[in-house]
């Protein structure tokens, strides 16, 4: 079948990015075996052959456990371990395309909240892969952690569930209640009536205990009079011996010996069925679906990789490789005739000159190629050693434009450069800068296979053009990144991203802390401010470019102390030491101020004026590196949930703000979306827990983008800032391996691991103090292939609510009603204000809300005591409703109510239903009766056998 180039590119994008979320993983599965798993060791980790051996042992066990957990559907066939480039004592192969930034598993220093606890950074929703798994060297080599998190192989399968399949914890992580009121009551010897521990399945048996870690003892929990649940500090301890038919769940209690599988929804095995009533992230994010249902629906297993019992050896093949000491960049520059229009050549050369002069790290190698009707090598690969080597490259940049466009010629020439001297072109970066369609053979599609076979990585910067889908496809196929820009600012950001370290060394990374584009009129002065924080300061450069005219701009740079540097050599009253500091490049119209030593933290100011007769456009950019290796710099990373969208589809923009592995909260995060016509849309990102944000206060900010001006390419930059008067917030922990706090032995005694106390109260922590700071990052671009969005069009529904919570207003007053709390959706996803809400409920069988929302009972306006179903609040604000208790059931005892809602816009577009929010509603005041204080575990285990049949009957009734 022959497809048009544009449609073929779109299909490739959808295939390449579907379901990947923010993950850049190269993992594939074929014949039940995962290949391409990359485990990268942070450069701060000392070299250790013992660590390599531990990684191999842990993941060999993980492969065996995965094969069991997936019921013979998957195992790890091959794994690559990437060691830092500083490691020298071992024998390592050279890495190809492997980079630290693209790793599936990071082996690095402790997270301040998780400590040595394995966890997964999860940005996306249900079924969307995570970003990485984080393991510490201590966890990998220290066998004592088996007592806390269970066998390491099973713990890795738990994290793989988060990372690969986008399932969530079934334990009470992230502030969920450890206990809840069961709709049918619990058959339990501890006589806690309707109280259940949050876990999966409910047939995992145990007791409720308060642990005294100072003495290593435990006592039975008391009842909280206010809510009838166990007192604060009470935990669920499973029995050491469970019934033989208990096999799940890996996402709940992987440390229990008999737990090997995932909770499911298969009635043929009701003993291990998913617990849909438990208050946990899996039920909220996946709307009561079991982890096994989500896993089987993934692309790994939906139509492939059926169970294979013939696999006798699940041991992976390991490859240990080391990063090369430098990166190779071949800049392939378009100098065709069209680049001579509208200052295209000038802006390209300005950005390229700054890339060479400031961004390329010492030790990296750069070559230059230009192309028009043919391609010409301007330089070989030159190692950046000092200012002289940078100047040599700058002196070879092209200066004229003319002729046709042969991008294929440029690609062929760049490959020859990467292969010179018998070098392996694998992993070499080819950066194509172009503004238009091809017009000379060979075209990109004619040389694409040659490039891919060579293993080179192609990146592209599309300047003022939406053309050349073949080049975009080659970028995607070679694991590169493409950018879209219409000015020097956006191009600079693309080069900053491409020059960034890919080895995990944040101390040598160049951060863009400021960028601004502004116009300066004759006889006027433009002023700007830049906050330099204490985590950066080395190699700081203030850069200013100008265009349109040869008239140089004049800049005054003011130090936080008040002294100044200036391009004017006279008239400066309070000169800083070292004045004059600036360097002017009249050829490329660039002036920069390289600050000596470590820049002092604080608020810097710049003042720009011009002698041009007309308004002059100026771009200001400030870059800096970490101040020292004793303090982690503040880092911003950004991504998209996909890179292609059609009519009615939104693009989710994410940004993670962190210092080390600690999240930075209460930051101002702004996405700048550059549209095909060059205009920029601003989109504020939030970390408040409303969709698409997975959880509040975890340092991950996100938002839906729907304001497409037209079909074509879109560029994305993210600007982050924070001021000293920001709120001091608490950050939360998310997806991680559950902790074994202790077990109940067969004789009724309690076995407690004293180290477990370190992981009991680590759900929240105070946010770090950062002071004023700013950062900017440029993201990959995305393609919109749908209709232009006008004011009269309404293609987008409101977003689905993902944080609906329900609770009885007063447990002692049966007339009090039910309070509902959630984040308001918008008119177009999370933009604007919805038209009205549709709220429904069920009694006891809460799964009906997930299975058939429209068939559940509608809450009428007259049932609402507080709030208004027909007047929603603006998106991202908190909604609170109070629903009367006019529910059709006997006014006594207890029932479980379930609520869900959706928003509708003025055009009738309906959101997907929200998460289901269950609540145990008490019609009788709590009876203060303490449970039995003696737990005879041997009697309970015996009793469980006789009660198993009744439990099965009850579970069939529920589901």
Strands 750-752 and 33-35: unpaired
CB atoms within 10 A of CB 38: 25
Helix (H, G, I), strand (E, B) or coil at 507: coil
CA distances from 535 to 331, 550, 724, 773, 774 (A): 31, 37, 15, 9, 11
Q: Is the torsion defined by CA of 12, 13, 17, 23 positive or negative?
A: positive
Residue 722 falls in which region: left (phi positive, over 0), alpha (psi -120 to 50) or beta: beta
Q: Do residues 486 and 450 lie in contact, with contact meaning Cβ atoms separated by under 8 Å?
A: no
CA-wise closest residue to 909 among 813, 793, 806: 793
Cβ(904)–Cβ(165) under 8 Å?
no
Backbone angles phi, psi at 902, to 5 degrees: -145, 160
Q: Is the peptide bond before 249 cis (omega within 30 degrees of 0)?
A: yes
Give whole-number Cα distances, 328 to 139, 334, 950, in Å: 35, 19, 68
Query: For residues 105 and 40, what is the distance between their CA atoms, to the nearest angstrom?
Result: 6
Burial of 485 by CB count in 10 Å (0-12 exposed, 13-18 middle, 19+ buried)?
buried
Residue 452, Cα to own-chain centre: how many angstroms? 28
Q: How far apart are CA 820 and CA 17, in angstroms?
A: 36
C-alpha distances (whole Å) from 237 to each of 220, 742, 858 are 11, 6, 40
Coil, helix or strand for 324?
Answer: coil
Q: Which of 98, 159, 346, 780 is catalytic?
A: 159
Residue 776 annotated in active site:
no
Separation CA 830–CA 832 (nearest Å):
7
Q: Are strands 457-463 and 482-485 parallel, antiparallel or unpaired?
A: parallel
Backbone dihedral region for residue 23 (phi beyond 0: left; psi -120 to 50: alpha; all else: beta): beta
Provide the 8-state DSSP code for 768: P
Q: What is the DSSP string of 211-232?
A: EETTTTEEEEPPBPTTTSSBPT
Q: Of 248, 201, 223, 255, which is closest to residue 71 (Cα–Cα)?
A: 248
Instruction: Please give the positions annotated as active site.
Output: 159
């Amino acid at each position: 079948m022959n497809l048009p180039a544009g449609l073929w590119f779109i299909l490739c994008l959808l295939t390449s990015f579907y379901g990947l979320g923010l993950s850049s993983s190269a993992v594939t599965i074929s014949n039940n075996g995962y290949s391409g798993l990359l485990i990268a060791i942070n450069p701060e980790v000392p070299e250790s052959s013992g660590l390599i051996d531990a990684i191999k042992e842990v993941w060999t066990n993980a492969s065996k456990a995965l094969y069991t957990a997936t019921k013979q559907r998957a195992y790890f066939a091959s794994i690559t371990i990437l060691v830092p480039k500083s490691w020298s004592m071992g024998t390592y192969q050279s890495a190809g395309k492997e980079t630290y930034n693209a790793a599936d598993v990071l082996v690095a220093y402790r997270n301040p909240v998780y400590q040595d606890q394995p966890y997964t950074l999860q940005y996306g929703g249900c079924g969307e892969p995570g970003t990485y798994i984080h393991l510490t060297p201590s966890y990998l080599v220290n066998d004592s952690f088996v007592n806390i998190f269970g066998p390491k192989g099973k713990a890795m399968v738990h994290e793989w569930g988060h990372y690969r399949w986008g399932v969530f914890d079934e334990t009470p992580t992230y502030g969920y209640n450890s206990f809840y009121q069961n709709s049918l009551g619990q058959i339990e010897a501890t006589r806690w009536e309707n109280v259940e521990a949050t876990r999966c399945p409910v047939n995992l048996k145990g007791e409720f205990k308060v642990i005294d870690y100072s003495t290593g003892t435990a006592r039975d929990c008391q009842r909280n009079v206010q809510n009838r649940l166990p007192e604060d500090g009470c935990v669920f301890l499973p029995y050491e011996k469970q019934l033989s038919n208990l096999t799940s769940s890996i996402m709940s209690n992987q440390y229990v010996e008999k737990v090997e599988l995932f909770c499911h929804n298969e009635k043929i095995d009701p003993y291990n069925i998913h617990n849909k009533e438990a208050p946990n992230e899996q039920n909220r994010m996946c709307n009561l679906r079991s982890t096994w249902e989500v896993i089987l629906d993934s692309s790994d297993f939906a139509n492939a990789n059926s169970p294979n019992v013939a696999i006798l050896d699940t041991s992976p093949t390991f490859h240990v490789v080391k990063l090369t000491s430098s990166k190779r960049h071949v800049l392939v520059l378009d100098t065709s005739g069209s680049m001579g229009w509208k200052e295209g050549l000038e802006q390209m050369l300005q950005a390229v000159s700054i890339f060479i002069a400031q961004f390329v790290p010492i030790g990296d190698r750069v070559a230059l190629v230009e192309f028009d009707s043919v391609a010409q090598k301007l330089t070989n690969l030159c190692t950046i050693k000092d200012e002289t080597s940078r100047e040599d490259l700058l002196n070879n940049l092209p200066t004229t434009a003319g002729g046709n466009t042969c991008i294929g010629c440029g690609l062929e020439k760049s490959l020859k450069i990467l292969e010179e001297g018998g070098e392996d072109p694998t992993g070499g970066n080819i950066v194509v800068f172009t503004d238009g369609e091809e017009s000379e053979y060979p075209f990109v599609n004619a040389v694409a296979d040659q490039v891919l076979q060579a293993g080179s990585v192609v990146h592209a910067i599309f300047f003022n053009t939406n053309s050349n889908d073949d080049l975009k496809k080659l970028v995607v196929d070679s694991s590169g990144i493409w950018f879209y820009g219409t000015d020097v600012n956006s191009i600079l950001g693309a080069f900053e991203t491409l020059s960034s370290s890919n080895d995990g060394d944040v101390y040598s990374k160049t951060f863009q802390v400021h960028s601004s584009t502004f116009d300066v009129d004759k006889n006027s002065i433009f002023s700007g401010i830049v906050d330099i924080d204490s985590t950066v300061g080395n190699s700081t450069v203030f850069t200013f470019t100008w265009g349109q005219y040869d008239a140089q701009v004049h800049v005054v740079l003011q130090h936080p102390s008040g002294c100044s540097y200036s391009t004017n050599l006279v008239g400066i009253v309070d000169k800083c030491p070292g004045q004059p500091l600036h360097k002017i490049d009249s050829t490329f119209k660039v002036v920069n101020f390289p600050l000596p030593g470590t820049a002092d933290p604080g608020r810097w100011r710049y003042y720009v004026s011009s002698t041009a007769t007309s308004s002059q456009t100026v771009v200001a950019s400030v870059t800096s590196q970490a101040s020292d290796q004793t303090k982690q710099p503040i880092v911003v990373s950004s991504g998209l949930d996909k890179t292609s969208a059609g009519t009615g589809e939104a693009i989710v923009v994410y940004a993670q703000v962190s210092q080390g592995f600690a999240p930075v909260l209460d930051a101002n995060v702004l996405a700048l979306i550059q549209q095909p016509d060059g205009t920029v849309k601003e989109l504020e990102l939030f970390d408040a827990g409303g969709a698409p944000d997975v959880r509040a206060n975890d340092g991950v900010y996100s938002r839906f983008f729907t304001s497409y001006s037209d079909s074509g390419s879109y560029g994305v930059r993210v600007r982050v800032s924070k001021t000293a008067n920001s709120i001091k917030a608490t950050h939360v922990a998310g997806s991680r391996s559950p902790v074994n706090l202790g077990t109940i032995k067969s004789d009724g005694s309690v076995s407690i691991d004293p180290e477990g106390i370190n992981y009991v109260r680590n759900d929240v922590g105070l946010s770090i103090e950062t002071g004023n700071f700013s950062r900017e990052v440029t993201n990959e671009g995305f393609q919109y292939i749908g209709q232009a969005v006008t004011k009269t069009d309404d293609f987008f529904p409101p977003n689905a609510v993902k944080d609906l919570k329900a609770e009885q207003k007063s447990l002692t007053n049966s007339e009090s009603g039910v309070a509902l709390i959630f984040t308001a959706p918008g008119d177009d996803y999370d933009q604007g204000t919805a038209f009205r809400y549709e709220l429904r409920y069920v009694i006891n069988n809460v799964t009906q809300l997930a299975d058939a929302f429209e068939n559940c009972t509608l809450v009428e306006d007259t049932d609402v005591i507080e709030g208004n179903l027909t007047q929603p609040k603006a998106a991202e604000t908190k909604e609170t409703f109070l629903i009367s208790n006019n529910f059709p059931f006997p006014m006594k005892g207890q029932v479980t109510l379930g609520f869900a809602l959706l928003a509708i816009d003025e055009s009738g577009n309906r959101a997907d239903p929200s998460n289901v929010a269950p609540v145990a509603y008490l019609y009788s005041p709590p009876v203060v009766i303490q449970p039995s204080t003696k737990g005879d575990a041997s009697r309970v285990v015996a009793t469980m056998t006789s009660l198993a049949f009744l439990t099965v009957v009850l579970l069939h009734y529920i589901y």
